[in-house]
Amino acid sequence: MSIGEVLGQLRVDFPDVTISKLRFLEAEGLVEPQRTAAGYRKYSWDDVARLRFVLSAQRDQYLPLRVIRDQLAQWDASGESPGRQRPTLVAVGPDGEVPGRVPEESVGSPQVRLGRLDLVARSGIDESTLGELERLGVVVSDPPGWYDDDALIIARAVAGLAAYGLEPRHLRAFRTAADREVGLFAQLLAPLARQSDPAARARAAETARELVALSQQLHAALVRVGLRSTLGR
C-alpha cells in the first residue's frame, strides 16, 4: 500500500493522523516500509498493524515513543507482532482530510476557527463569562475575534465547572500553574524548535504532545491524592 492508502485506513480510528505524522514515525524507527525502485514507500498489513498499535498507545495510554519503541523491540525479538486487522477504508481528500468528518479536538492541532458567537453557542458559557475569561488571560483569540479548538475546550471546561459553583475568578490558579509548566516545557523544546530541519520540528511537536499528556496524568493523580482525606478514603 502507498502512504496515502495507509492514511485512508488509519483515519477511520485516528482522524488527526497526517502523512507528516507517518513519516515522522518512520524516521523514529517505529515502522520500516519497503521502498520501490523509484523510492516510493510501500506498506504491508503488518506495517499498518504496527502503526495502529503506536497510535493507540499514544492516544489511549499516553505512552512516550521511547516506551512504545521498547515494546515493539521486544515483539521483534520474540517474533511476535501487534494484532493484525484490516480496518474499513475511508475516503481521503487531496490535503489528507476526511470529507464530512469534524476534526477531533486535540492538543497542538488548533484547526477549529470560531467566531465569538459560535464559541459562546458551542461551549455553553455566556458572553459576559467569555469577556471575563479573556480579561484573566484564560481564553485568547488569535487572530483577534477568532478562536481555535483549545479556546473551545477551555470554555466548555469552564461551563462544566460553573455547574459546581466555580467562577472565572477561581481559575487564576489554573492559569498560573499552566504558565509555570509552559515556561518549563519551553526550555526543553526550544533547542528542537529552533532547528530548520523538518524532522527536528516534527520531533519537537511530538515531544510537546508527550509532555502535555504526562502533565495531565500527573495533575490528575495529584488532585486525587489531595482529595482522599476530604473523601475519607
> What's the structural domain count of the chain?
3
HSE value, Cβ hemisphere, 13 Å, CA-based, for 94: 0
Name residue 113's amino acid. Answer: R
Contact between residue 87 and residue 9 where contact means Cβ atoms under 8 Å apart: yes
* DSSP string computed for 179-224: HHHHHHHHHHHHHHHT---HHHHHHHHHHHHHHHHHHHHHHHHHHH
Within a domain: 91:
no
Within a domain: 99:
no
Residue by residue, pLDDT tens for the chain (233 residues) are: 999 899 988 988 888 888 888 988 998 889 999 998 888 899 999 999 999 999 998 888 878 888 888 889 888 888 766 654 444 434 444 444 444 443 444 434 446 788 999 999 999 999 999 999 999 889 988 777 899 988 998 999 999 999 889 988 898 889 899 999 999 999 989 988 888 877 777 888 888 888 888 888 888 889 989 998 888 86
- Provide the residue range defining the domain that includes 138: 105-166
Instruction: Give the single-character DSSP code of 142.
Output: S
User: How much is the pTM?
Assistant: 0.57
- For residues 228 and 218, give the distance between their C-alpha atoms in angstroms, rounded to a whole number: 16
93: nearest Cα among 22, 19, 42, 149: 19
Within a domain: 12:
yes
Instruction: Give the single-character DSSP code of 88.
Output: P
Question: Does 73 lie in the same domain as 7?
Answer: yes
Question: Does 71 lie in the same domain as 17?
Answer: yes
CATH number of the domain at 30, please.
1.10.1660.10
- For residues 6 and 2, give the distance between their C-alpha atoms in angstroms, rounded to a whole number: 6
